[in-house]
Structure 1
C-alpha cells in the first residue's frame, strides 16, 4: 500500500475486500500480509477484523516493509520491498495456469480439488542451510522460476513442509516417492537436490541468515549483565519474565490439534507451532497426519535450526521419534529429565537402558553399546539401524539426571549444567568431524535433539544457556531476554517457570566468572525482600 491514497478506495471496493476476507478462499492461506498500510486504512481495518472468523483473523497482519523479513526470506522478497528477488510475474502466472490445468484433469476428489495437489506437484528445490529459498519449476519446459512465498500461498494454501529423509550424503534405501514431491527413483537430477545434506523445515527463523541467528540485539557485557541483575534482584527478573510470558503465542497449532495428532501430544496444553514444526516423511499415503511429531526447529547461535525441541517420547511415538532422528541426520540427543519423577512418568524409556540390549521401534532398531555413569548425568552410546536398509549410525545420548521438573538444578548450581553443556558440544563436534564429506549442511552439523518431559521448561533453559554462552565466548556480550523471546517464537512457552528465567541469568554470570570475563560476582542481597518464587 506504499503511496496509496484514500481516494483509491471507495465503498464498493471496501465491501469486496471484506467479502474476500470473510470468504473461504483466504481461509486456505497461511498468512496475509498488508504492507505499509497508512493510518487511514489501519483504523477501519481494526474494526473490520472483528467481523471475520478468529481463525482467519490470526492470519491477516499489517506490517511495515522492514518487518517483512520476519515473515518471508529476503531471497523471496522483491527488491522494492527490501529483498533480493527480481520476479517474472508473467512466467509465474503461466506456471500457475499450467499447474491448475494439469491437476484439474487428474486430481478431482468429489468435485473439489485437493488444496495440496498443486503444491505437491512442485518438484523439490535446492535447500540452503536447511531452508528453501527458491521454489517452483515450470512443469512443461524445465525452466526454473523464482517467486515469492506469498505467491505460493495464494495457489496452494498451507504449503506442506517437506523433509529430506536422507540428509546425509551417500545414503541409500529411499526409492520411489518422497513425501509431497513425487520424485521417482529414476529422477536422478531431482533426487540429487534432496540428498545434499540439508533439509527444508518450514519457516523456522524466516528471513534470517545463519550469521543473524542468536545474535539479535545489542547484548550486554558480563559487567553490565551483573549490574542489571543486582539492580533488578530476583523480583525484578521474575517481573521481566512474567511480561514475556503474558504475550500471546507467535503462531498457530492447527496440525497439533488435529484429532489424529492429539493422541501424539504428551500434554494437551503443550503443542507445537505449525510454522516451525518438524515434518516427518509420510508413512501412509492416505493419512497426511503420519508426518506429525510434537517437535519444533529452534535456532542456535549463528545456526538456523540448530536444535530440535521435542517432548519426552510416548510409547506410541517411539517409532516417530527415531524416524525423526534418522531423517534429520541428528547424532546427538540431550535429555534433561528422568523417566520417572515424583512418582510420575515424565518420559518413556525409548532406548534400551541395559548395556548390550536391542529394542525395535517402528522401522528402526536401537542398541545400547556403552554407558558412562556420572553423578549428574549418564552418557549412553547407541547404535541406530534402519531395518529397511541395514544402514547404521552412532548416536550420543546424554541424560542430565539432577534437574527437577518445574525447577532448576539443585541449589541453583550452574557449574554441573555448564559442564554437561560442554560435553554436548564436544560430542556434536566429534560427530560432525566423523561425518566428513558425508555431511553437506551447516558446518556445526545436524540439529541436536533436546527434550525434557514437555520440551519447553528445562529444554528451553538448556537452549538459552547454549546460545548465550556461545555468543559470550564469540562476541563478549549476551542477551538473555532476547534469546528467550526468540526461542519462544519457535517453540511455544519455552522457559516454563520464573525460576528458570532467573537461573539463566545467574548461570551466565557464573559462566562469565569461570571463563575470566569477571573476576568475581557479588550477588549478596539478590534475594532480599523477595517472595519465594519457586514452583
Structure 2
C-alpha cells in the first residue's frame, strides 16, 4: 500500500465498516502514501456505500438491490469482448456504446408524485394548463440521442485535515486554501479538471478580455454556448410517471448525472426519480446537487434526497413567490420551533437569522423510520430576481452570501469529524432556485471560479459554465447572468487583492449606441 502499486490500478477501494481503532492510524497512514492512492482508498460505513456505488449495483447483503450471478456476468463480458472485436474489424474503432445501446430497466424506489407541471414563462398564462413541453430557456429544444443511461454518482474521499475559515461573517475568502486533489469526473472531463480546472486565465487577463469584449461581446459568447445541443438524454425525466414531478415541462434533468433516490416501492419502476443532477465542483466530483424548487408533493422526496446524500448545506436563490407567482413550495417550517413531517422525515426549525440580503435557517432533519437526525444549514438569498441578476451595482452581497455558505459547509463538516469518510470538502451542497438552472448555475459558476482563483490565481468562466451545462442542462439561463459572473469575479479579485482595480469604463458603450 505504501508503494501504491496494486490498489492504484483500481478505480476505487472501499474499506467497509472499519473499526474505530483502524480509522485513526489509517488517517495518519494516508499522509505517507501517494496522492493517487489517497484519492482512491476510502473507509466507509455500510449506509454510505450508496454514495460511492449505485444501490442497483450493490449486493443485497450490503443494503443494495443486486443479486450477483457470476457465471452470467462472465458470459456477458465474453459477449461484449467478442462484439467489440467484430466492430473494431468493421470500423477500425471500438464503439464505446456497443455493449449497451438501450435503456436499462429503472429501479423502483420512492413513491409516485402526482403534480401538474407548470411553466416558467409568461406564456403559461396564455396557454393555460397544456402539458406540451414549453421551451423557456432560450436554448435549442431537447433532443434524444441513443446513448445508454449512465449513472456517475459517488465521492472520492480524502481523510486529510481540513482548514476551517474562522474569520468573521463578512470574510469574503471563499476558498479553503490548501492542497487540492482531483476527484473522479464526469464523462468528458479530465481528472485534472475535476469540473473546475483546465486552461485558465489570470484575473488581469480576465479583466483585459472583458474590456475588449464589452457587454455585447460577452453576450455573443454566451449565445454561442447556448446554441449547442444538449450532451445527454432525458429518458427518465420524460417517462409519463415522472413528467408530473418536473416543476417545468421544459426543464428536465440529464440521465447520466441525475440523482437516484433509494428504492421504497419495488412495484413501481419510476419511483427513483427526482428532478436533480450532480454537478462537479472545483476538483471535487459531485460537489453540488442542482435541483428545482420542490413541489408540495415532492417535499418528502426532496428531504429524502438531502438525507441520503449526507447534505449539510442547502442554498436557495429564489423567493417562494415572485411577481405574484409561486416559484418554490414552502418545504421547510418558517417559524422558530416549528416542526413539520414530510413522509418519513421530520424537519424542525431551531433558529432563524435575518440579513438584509438573505435569511439563514438552522434546521434539524430527522429520519422517523430508521432513526437518526442531522443539522441542516439553509441559506436563502432573497434579492435575486427571476431571469435576472442581483441589482445594486455591486456583487458584494452575493459574494458575502457565497462565503457564508462555504463557511457553513466547512463548520458542519468539522462537526462530523470521523462520521464523514468522503471527499474532504464534504457531501454535496444542494442548490436550487425555481427551475434549478438560471440563478443556480450562476451561483455554481461563482463558487467554482472563486475557489479556483483563491487556490491557483487563475479561473475559467466560460469553461466552468460549459462543464456545468454538461451535467445540468441549460445552466446559466440568460446572457445577463453570464455577464454578471464575469463582473462579480472581477470584483472578487479586487476584494481579495488579485487586482488593484477593475476599471470597466466603456463596457456598456455598444449597448448605448444600439439603443440610440
TM-score after normalising by structure 1: 0.65
Greater C-alpha Rg: 1
What does residue range 138-287 of structure 1 map to in structure 2 within 5 Å?
Answer: 139=70, 154=99, 157-159=102-104, 205-206=186-187, 208=189, 211-287=192-268
1:405 Cα deviation from its structure 2 partner: 0.5
Q: Which residue of 2 aligns with 1:335?
A: 316
What does residue range 275-424 of structure 1 map to in structure 2 within 5 Å?
Answer: 275-424=256-405
Structure-2 separation of matches of 1:446 and 1:533: 47
1:491 Cα deviation from its structure 2 partner: 0.2
Matched, 1:471 2:464: no
**Partner SS state of residue 440, structure 1:** coil
Question: Which of 426, 430, 451 is matched with 2:432 structurally?
Answer: 451
**Partner SS state of residue 411, structure 1:** coil
Deviation per CA, 1:392-431: give whole Å up to 9, x if none.
1000000000101100001342111001000111110011
Note closer, same or farther for the CA distance 1:155–1:241 as it changes in structure 2 (3 Å cut).
Answer: closer
Structure-2 separation of matches of 1:272 and 1:125: 31
Structure-2 separation of matches of 1:315 and 1:533: 45
Deviation per CA, 1:330-365: give whole Å up to 9, x if none.
010000000001111000000001111011111100
Q: Which residue of 1 aligns with 2:409?
A: 428
1:529 Cα deviation from its structure 2 partner: 2.2
Matched, 1:514 2:514: no
Root-mean-square deviation (CA, aligned residues, Å) is: 3.6
Structure-2 separation of matches of 1:404 and 1:428: 25
1:265 Cα deviation from its structure 2 partner: 0.4
Note closer, same or farther for the CA distance 1:225–1:136 as it changes in structure 2 (3 Å cut).
Answer: farther
TM-score after normalising by structure 2: 0.67
What does residue range 98-113 of structure 1 map to in structure 2 within 5 Å?
Answer: none
Structure-1 separation of matches of 2:77 and 2:512: 57
Note closer, same or farther for the CA distance 1:238–1:392 as it changes in structure 2 (3 Å cut).
Answer: same
1:196 Cα deviation from its structure 2 partner: 11
In the alignment, structure 2 segments of 5+ residues that lack a partner are: 1-8, 13-35, 37-54, 82-94, 111-153, 159-183
Is the Cα contact below 8 Å between 2:109 and 2:272 reproduced in 1? no
**Partner SS state of residue 361, structure 2:** strand
Question: Which of 35, 38, 59 is matched with 1:123 structurally?
Answer: 59
1:212 Cα deviation from its structure 2 partner: 2.6
Higher relative contact order, structure no. (Cα contacts within 8 Å, ≥ 6 residues apart): 2
Is the Cα contact below 8 Å between 2:155 and 2:285 reproduced in 1? no
1:216 Cα deviation from its structure 2 partner: 3.6
Question: Which of 486, 493, 500 is matched with 2:474 structurally?
Answer: 493
Note closer, same or farther for the CA distance 1:239–1:366 as it changes in structure 2 (3 Å cut).
Answer: same
Deviation per CA, 1:433-489: give whole Å up to 9, x if none.
111111111111100000000000000000000010111011111000000000000
1:162 Cα deviation from its structure 2 partner: 8.3
Note closer, same or farther for the CA distance 1:368–1:211 as it changes in structure 2 (3 Å cut).
Answer: farther
Deviation per CA, 1:354-384: give whole Å up to 9, x if none.
1110111111000000000010000000000
**Partner SS state of residue 335, structure 2:** coil
Structure-2 separation of matches of 1:372 and 1:210: 39
In the alignment, structure 1 segments of 5+ residues that lack a partner are: 1-72, 77-83, 85-118, 127-134, 166-193
Is the Cα contact below 8 Å between 1:210 and 1:304 reproduced in 2? no
Is the Cα contact below 8 Å between 1:204 and 1:490 reproduced in 2? no
